[in-house]
Chains A and B, each alone.
Chain A
Amino acid sequence: MNMNRRDFLKVGAAIVPGVSAANAAVLSYAASGKQAPPTAGKGDMLYRRLGHTGVLVSALGVGGHHLGDFPSVDEAVRLVHEAIDAGVTFFDNCWEYYNGKTENILGRALKGRRDKVFLMTKVCTHGRSGRLALQMLEMSLRRLQTDHLDLWQIHGIVYDNDPELAYAKGGVLEALDQAKKEGKTRFVGFSGHKDPAFHLKMLELGYPFDTVQMPLNPFDASFHSFEKQVLPEVNRRGMAGLGMKSMGGTAWAIKKGIVKPGELLRYAMSLPVATTISGMDSLEVLHQNLRVVRGFQPMTESEMDALRARCAPTAADGRFEPYKVSLRYDNPMTRLPHGFPIDSTQREVAEMLEKGDAPWLPPRTMPPA
C-alpha cells in the first residue's frame, strides 16, 4: 500500500501497455480493499492491481489444472493463445497438476509470449523441506520454458498442521526467500481450499506473502467462509486476494439449477480480489467467461446478498463445496506426504500409479515431534 496512485499507474502502464483510460479507474479499487470493483469498458479486459506489488493483472485468470483436461495439447495451447489475445494476463499452474503435464502444456503455449503474461505456479512440498521445494522450482521452470516466475505459491495448505510445517526451520518458506533472492520468482504466496482457520494461521505467523489464493463463491459466503474470515484480513495486510472455485469446484449446484455460471463468475469478480482464476476446459467456457468480463458491472451489495441468501440453505452442509469437507480436491500428491489415503477412483491417481509413483517423492517423513 506504499505506492501512490501515480506510481501505480506508471507501473500499470509498463506492465500492460494496452491498458485503457477506462481501466485506469479500476486502479483505486484494490487499494480500498472494500469497495466493489469498477466496471470495464465495452470489449475491454479488466485489469486490477495485485495488492502492494503494484503489478496489474487481468481480473480473469486461466486455471492451470483444466489445461490437462483437453483432448489434445494443441487444443489447450489454442485456449491459452486465445486468452492472451483477449487480454488475459494471469496464468495459474502447479507443479503437481497431472504429474507436470499442465506445466508442460503452458510452457509450450507461452513460447514467444512469455512477456505478455503474469505467470504463476505452485510448489508442492506439503510439509517437506525447502530443499525439495527448490528442486521442484527448477522442474517447474524447465517445464514452463522460462527463467523466472512472476508468482510462486505454496500449494495446498489444506491440513491442520500445514502452517506449522511450512514455517518450520528448513521448510518451504526458506525456499521462497531464496527463489526471490535468486531472481527466479518476483512474488510469493500460498493457496488452499480447505479451512479459513489454516489460512489465518499462515497469515498470523507473519511471513510477508504477496498473494493469498482461496475459494470464493456465494456458497462459501455462508459455510466456513473465506470471504468473511480471510479476504478482509488479506486486504488489510495489503496482500492480493486471488479467488478460485467460483463455480464451487464442481458444477453440482449449476446442474441442480440453483445458480448459473455467469452469475457465479460475476459474484466472484465483484469481491475485492485481484483476479478470479477460472478453470476452462474448452474455448466455449473461455468465451462465456469473456462475455462476463467484457462490460463487467460489479454486483451491487443487495444483488450479492440476494445470491448469498439463495445459496445459503444448500451451502449449510457443504454439499456444493466438496473441497472443504472431503479429500476430493486434495491432490494425491498432497495426501501422500501427509499419510492420507489416495482415492483409486480418481483419474489423477490412476495416472500417478501408471507412472510408477513419483521417484522424487521421498518416503513419508513424520512431522517433527
Chain B
Amino acid sequence: MAEQHEPGERSRSTLEIDRRRFIQAGLAFTGALAAGSIFHSSDISAAVPREMTNTGPDQIPRRPLGKTGEQVSIIGLGGYHLGTMRSLDDAVRLVQEAVDAGVTFFDNAWEYNDHRSEEWMGRALQGRRDKVFLMTKICTHGRDKKVAMRQLEESLARLRTDHLDLWQIHEVIYENDPDLHFAKGGVIEALDEAKKQGKVRFVGFTGHKNPAIHLKMLAHNYPFDTVQMPLNCFDGTYRSFEQQVLPEVNRRGIGALGMKSLGGDGQPILHGIVSAEEALRYAMSLPVATTISGMDSLEVLRQNLMIGRGFKPMLPEEMEAVRQRCKSFAADGHLELYKSTKKYDGRVGREQHGYPPPEQLPL
C-alpha cells in the first residue's frame, strides 16, 4: 500500500468498510505453529526459513532483514497514507502509537503527497528516531546522481535526521528504468556515494509493475540490501512477484519487503473475496522481512497490530487454498491495478517518462 498514487484516487471509505467488516469477523486464527518456529511457503523452493524473535503474545514479532544483521518488525508503517491524514497531530499520534506498540519499520518516499509524508513522519519521530528503522525512497525516475543527492538532503531535512537506515530507488516500473538507473552517472552511483558519506546504511529498490523489470534490476548484480514488491494472494497467480522475484531475492540473501497486501485499494475485501485479516496474514506468511501497510487511522493501525501480535504464519496448505480461491479473480489483473493499468504510476515518474499526468491518463 505504500507506493505513490494520487490523493483522492484510493477509496478511504473502502478501507474503513473493510476494516469494520474485519473487526466484526473477529480474530479466529487457526494457525497452529508454535511461536518462533520456522515457517515455509509452498511453491517457494528458495524460501529462506526465517526465525522470528519478539514472539510474545503481546509483541509484534521481528525478522532479520536479509544479510544486514538488522531485525525489523513484521509490520511496517507505510508513509504514503500517513500524508493523507487529516492533520499533523493525527499523523503524530499514529506514528507514536505504532512505535510504542513495537512497530520499527517506517516507510516513506521523497515524492509522497508533495513531501508532506516525510515532513509529518519527521515531526512524529522526533525523540524516537533511535527506536525505528527508517526508510525513504529516491525519485530520480531516470535522472542523474546529482538529482538523487539533492533529494537525499531534502529527505534528511524533512525527516529531521542525519541518516537513513534504508534508501530505496522508488517506482522501478518502466521497462527502461533498469537501464537508466545503471547508466553512468545514474542513481546507482548516488547509492554508493550516500553509503560512503554515512548518510545511508542500506540500499534497495521498489516497484509495483512487472516481475521482469525487478529481475532486470537484479541481473546487474548490484549488492542491494532490500527489494520491495507487491505481495498478496492475487499476485500469487498473476504476473507473480511471489513466484518470480521473491525466491531470487531470498536466494541472494536480500531482505524482501512486501507491499499491497490488500491489492492496493482493498477492492478484493470489499467484494468479499478475502477478508482483510486473511489477506494480511497471507502476505505476512511469505518469506519477507516485513509487510508495509498503509494506515490512515488509529483504527487501521490497531487492527493491524491485532493481527501482528503473536503472529502465527499460515500453513503452506492454507496459503495454497487462499491462492486457489483467488486465482480466477486474479487472472485478468483487475484486482491488481498497479500491474495492469497506469493508475498507481506516480506523477514525477510520469513526467520523467513523458506520460500525461493522472488527470489526463487516470487509468
**Hey, what's the 0/1 contact readout for B164-182 against A, CB within 8 Å counting as 1?**
0000000000111101000
Chain A nearest CB from B62 CB (Å) reads 37
Chain A nearest CB from B270 CB (Å) reads 12
Chain A nearest CB from B141 CB (Å) reads 10
Contact A326–B354 (Cβ < 8 Å): no
Chain A contacts with B in 318-344, Cβ cutoff 8 A: 318-319, 322, 325-328, 338-341, 343-344
Residue of A nearest to B174 (CB): A317
**Hey, what's the 0/1 contact readout for A223-249 against B, CB within 8 Å counting as 1?**
100000000000000000000000000
Contact A326–B332 (Cβ < 8 Å): no
Report the bound CA distance from A326 to B176 in whole Å. Answer: 17
Contact A318–B331 (Cβ < 8 Å): no
Residue A358, interface by CB 8 Å: no
Chain A nearest CB from B334 CB (Å) reads 4
A319-B354, A319-B355, A338-B334 in contact; A326/B329 too (CB < 8 A)? no
Chain B contacts with A in 227-258, Cβ cutoff 8 A: 238-239
Contacts of A164 in B (CB 8 A): 331
Report the bound CA distance from A343 to B341 in whole Å. Answer: 11
Q: Number of B interface residues, CB 8 Å?
A: 28
Residue of B nearest to A223 (CB): B175
Select B328's contact among A314, A316, A328, A366, beta carbons within 8 Å: A366
Residues of A contacting B: mostly: loop
Q: Number of A interface residues, CB 8 Å?
A: 28
Contact A160–B238 (Cβ < 8 Å): yes
Residue A178, interface by CB 8 Å: no
Residue A162, interface by CB 8 Å: yes
Residue of B nearest to A194 (CB): B340
The tally of CB-CB contacts under 8 A between chains A and B is 76
Contact B333–A160 (Cβ < 8 Å): yes
Residue of B nearest to A319 (CB): B354
Contacts of B355 in A (CB 8 A): 317, 319, 322
Contacts of A345 in B (CB 8 A): 359-360, 362
Residue of A nearest to B333 (CB): A160
Contacts of A127 in B (CB 8 A): 332
A327-B341, A340-B341, A341-B363 in contact; A367/B331 too (CB < 8 A)? yes
Chain A nearest CB from B175 CB (Å) reads 6
Contacts of B335 in A (CB 8 A): 339
**Given A314-B354, A328-B342, 19 extra CB contacts under 8 A:** A164-B331, A223-B175, A316-B176, A317-B353, A318-B174, A322-B355, A325-B342, A326-B342, A327-B341, A327-B342, A327-B363, A328-B361, A339-B332, A339-B334, A340-B341, A341-B337, A345-B359, A366-B328, A367-B332
Q: Which residues of A come within 8 Å of B, CB atoms?
A: 127, 159-162, 164, 223, 314, 316-319, 322, 325-328, 338-341, 343-345, 366-369
